Amino acid sequence: MPGGTDQTLRPFLWRAERMYSDREIVSRTASGIERYDYRTYGERVARLAHALEEGGIEQGDRVGTFCWNHHRHFETYFGVPNVGAQLHTINPLLPDHHIEHIVSDANDRVLFVDPSLIEQLEGPAESEAFDAVEQYVVMDEDVPETSLSPVTDYESFIADHPTEYDWPDLDEDQPAGMCYTSGTTGNPKGVEYTHQMLWSHTMATLPASGLDIRAEDVVMPVVPMFHVNAWGMPFTSTAAGAKHVYPGPSPEPADLAKLIEEEGVTLSAGVPTVWLGLLEYGQENDLDLSSLERLIIGGAAAPESLIRTFDEEYDVEVLHAWGMTEMSPIGTVSHLKPGMEEWDDDRRDEKRAKQGLLVPGLEMRVIDEDGEEVEWDGEEFGELWIRGPWVTTEYFERPEATEEDVEDSWLKTGDVVTVDPEGYIKIVDRAKDVIKSGGEWISSVELENALMGHDDVSEATVVGVPHERWQERPVAFVVPVEGIDEEALSEELLAMVRENYPKWWTPDDVLFIDEVPKTSTGKFDKKVLRERYDDPSLVEGNVPEEAAPDATD
C-alpha cells in the first residue's frame, strides 16, 4: 500500500503552491492574456478535482484533452493525475480515423476540448468510437453552438467547488498520463506514463545536466501540450517554481515574439520549424530576444546553421535535445563538456548539432545489423536501444508491438545513430518507414495504400525528402497504368489525399516512374528513390510546385 512517500506528482504541486505562491502563470487566449499565480492555480486545480469526482471520475479512469497550450490545459496536468485518473492528451493534428481509434482505445470518459477545435471533433464524436465519452468540457467561459453532447464550459464545470482537495496517497505505478504514437503501419499505439515515470523524468531533466530549469526562469513551452506533455516542461517548471507562459492556440511567430518580449521569457522549447519561423519573422520585424537565454530544440534534427544564428545574432544558447513519446520524452541533450566552449566555432557547433549526451539515469546500447554493439568512433552506426526509469517497457494493450520494440527492458528506438568517442550520439537514419514533417508524423505506408487504391495506379511509394523549413516532406513516386494522362492522374491523386487526410500530408510532388526499385528481399528501395529525387532529370513528369500545398496552408 502506498504510504504517501511514493514518487508521485502531488509534492511538485504542493511545493509550488506554498513556496512559490506568487510566481505567475500566463496564458495567451482568444480573448487576451490571462494571468494568475500558483496560489490561484492550486485552488483551481482543487476545484477541478472536485468537479471530476462529482462527475463520477474514479481512480484509473481516463480523461482526454483536445487542446493547445494554455492555463486550463495546465490545470488538467495536475488535477487529473493527482486524483488517480489518467490524463490522455490527444493530438488534434491527426486524421479523423486515428482520433476515433485513440479515443475508443483509451476509453476516455470525459473530453476537454478547445473552442477552436470543437468543429474538428464533431465528426469523429458522432462515431461509435466515442461511446464511452460521458461529458465534453469546452475550455472557455461559455459553450458555442455544437453537436457535442452533453457539454458544459470549463468555468461552469469547476465553479462552486471547494478550493482545497484532500489529495489521495497514490501508488507510484498508478498511470498518470497517456499519449499515442504513430507507427509505420496500423493504428497509433498508446504509451502510458506512471507517476513514477513522470516523477523521475522531472527530477532528471530539472538540473543542469538535463534542461536546467530554475525558479528564476520564465518558461514558455511552444511544443504542444499534446506532444508528450510538452516535453514534461509543465511538470519541470512547477517543480522548479518557475513562471509559466503558455502561447495558446496556433501561435504565429509574431505572437511568440510578443510573449517573449512582454513576459521576459528566458527559456523556450519547440521543434526546428518554429524557430526557423521566428528567425524569418526577425528578418522583417523588430525581434527583441534580449530576455531569452536558452532554447531547447528537438523533435527533429536542429540544423547547425539554426544553432549558430541564435548564438551569433541573438546571444541565445541552443540546447539540441532528442526524445520519443516512449521516453516521456527526453533522452539526450547536447551539452558541451568542460573545455569544449574554447574549441573553434566549427568544431564546437558540430558537437552542439549532434543529439548529444544521455540524461543521467539512462543507459544505452547501439546495436548493428549483426546484433553487436558498435564502436564509439563516430563512424560505425547501429540502432539506439535505451533503458531507464522513465522509458516505457510496454505499449498499451499491444503485446505484438511490445514484443517488436522492447527486449529485456531495452526500448529499441528505431533511430540509427553513431556515437563519438566523447559519447555524443548523432542520428543518421531511421530504421522505420515514417516521415516527420514540422515535428508531426506522416505515415508513408498509409499514403501508399491510398495511392495504390486508385485504379490507374499500378504501384506507388512515398518517401520523405529533406526540406529546409519542415525538415522532411513527402514525395510520391507512382507507376501509372499504361496510356494514362499523367497530369490528370496526379491532380486526382493529390485531390484524393487532400480529401482524406490532413492537408499537410499531401505530397509535395507526384513523380511518375516506370518501376519502383526494389531491394534484394523485394521491398521498395526508398534509399534509391531519395537519391534519385536529388537529380530530377532522372524522373519524368515532375508536378509543378504550386500543385502541392505547404503544410501550414
- 322 is an interface residue for ligand AMP by CB under 6 A: yes
Determine the interface stretch with ligand AMP among 34-42, 135-143, 357-365, 407-415 (rule: CB under 6 A): 407-415
From 199, 436, 446, 470, the catalytic residue: 436
Look up residue 253 and give its three cell numbers. Answer: 511567430
Could you tell me the three cell numbers for 544? Answer: 509543378
CB of 436 to ligand AMP, least distance (A): 6
329 binds ligand AMP, rule: CB under 6 A:
yes
Stretch that binds ligand AMP, among 5-13, 316-324, 513-521, 544-552 (CB under 6 A): 316-324
Which of 221, 253, 298, 382 is close enough to bind ligand AMP by CB under 6 A?
298
Looking at the Cβ atoms of 135 and 437, the one nearer to ligand AMP is: 437
Question: What's the min distance (Å) between Cβ of 104 and ligand AMP?
Answer: 21
Of 75, 326, 440, 446, the active-site residue reads 326
Q: Which of 172, 192, 217, 415 forms a contact with ligand AMP (CB under 6 A)?
A: 415
Residue reference for cell 490545459: 73
Instruction: Catalogue the E-assigned strands of 377-489.
Output: 381-387, 406-407, 410-419, 425-430, 435-437, 440-442, 457-467, 471-480
Residue count of the chain, please give it: 553
Q: Check if 436 is active-site.
A: yes
Q: What is the DSSP string of 219-243?
A: EEE-S-TTTHHHHTHHHHHHHHTPE
Marked catalytic residue, from 390, 441, 470, 505: 441
Q: Which is nearer to ligand AMP, 414 or 464 (CB)?
A: 414
Kindly state the smallest distance separating residue 356's Cβ from ligand AMP, in Å: 8
Instruction: Identify which of residues 273 and 413 has a Cβ nearer to ligand AMP in the complex.
Output: 413
* Positions of E strands within 162-307: 175-181, 189-194, 218-221, 243-246, 267-270, 294-297
DSSP code, position 116: G
Interface positions, 426-455, toward ligand AMP (CB under 6 A)? 427, 430, 436
Q: Pick the binder of ligand AMP from 64, 299, 480, 507 (CB under 6 A).
A: 299
Distance CA 108, CA 102 (A): 9
Closest CA to 511 of 526, 498, 525, 529: 529
Is residue 301 at the binding interface for ligand AMP, with CB under 6 A as the rule? yes
Q: Which of 262, 254, 231 is nearest to 69 (CA)?
A: 231
Task: Return the half-sphere exposure (C-beta side, CA atoms, 13 A cut-off) of residue 227.
Answer: 21
Exactly one of 273, 355, 461, 506 binds ligand AMP (CB under 6 A); that residue is 355
Site string for ligand AMP, 172-211 (x = CB under 6 A): ---------x------------------------------
Instruction: List alpha helices for 294-440, DSSP H.
Output: 304-314, 345-352, 399-405
168 secondary structure, DSSP code: P
Residue 247 CB, shortest distance to ligand AMP, in Å, is 19
C-beta of 110 vs 271, nearer to ligand AMP? 271
Residues 188 and 91: beta-carbon distance below 8 Å: no
Binding mask 213-242 for ligand AMP (x = CB under 6 A): ---------------x--------------
Stretch that binds ligand AMP, among 46-54, 210-218, 295-303, 519-527 (CB under 6 A): 295-303
Closer residue to ligand AMP, CB minimum distance, 83 or 411:
411
Question: Applying CB under 6 A, does 417 fall inside the site for ligand AMP?
Answer: no
Pairing of strands 86-89, 62-66: parallel
Q: Could you tell me the three cell numbers for 291?
A: 530576455
464 interacts with ligand AMP by CB under 6 A: no
**Does 441 qualify as catalytic in the annotation?**
yes
Pairing of strands 471-480, 509-512: parallel
Question: Which stretch, 56-64, 257-265, 298-306, 514-522, contacts ligand AMP (CB under 6 A)?
Answer: 298-306
Q: Cα(379)–Cα(366) distance, rounded to whole angstroms?
A: 12
The nearer residue to ligand AMP, 62 or 320, going by C-beta atoms, is 320
Output 241 or 298, the one with its CB closest to ligand AMP: 298
Catalytic residue among 65, 89, 181, 413: 181
Task: Kindly tell me which of 94 and 529 has the beta carbon lying closer to ligand AMP.
Answer: 94
Amino acid in the structure at residue 410: W
Minimum separation from the CB atom of position 371 to ligand AMP (A)? 21
Nearer to ligand AMP, 29 or 91 (CB): 91
Give CA separation, 418 vs 312, 368, 448, in Å.
28, 10, 30
Spatial distance between the Cα atoms of 147 and 126, rounded to a whole number of angstroms: 9
Shortest Cβ distance from residue 465 to ligand AMP (Å)? 16
Residue nearest to ligand AMP (CB): 325
CA pair distance 350, 420, nearest whole angstrom:
12
Distances (CA, A) of 297 to 216, 291, 332, 379, 430: 21, 18, 11, 24, 19
Residue 57 CB partners (closer than 8 Å, separation 6+): 63, 83, 85, 109, 110
| Interacting residue ranges for ligand AMP, rule: CB under 6 A | 181, 228, 298-301, 320, 322-325, 329, 355, 413-415, 427, 430, 436
Residues annotated as catalytic (active site), given as ranges: 181, 326, 436, 441
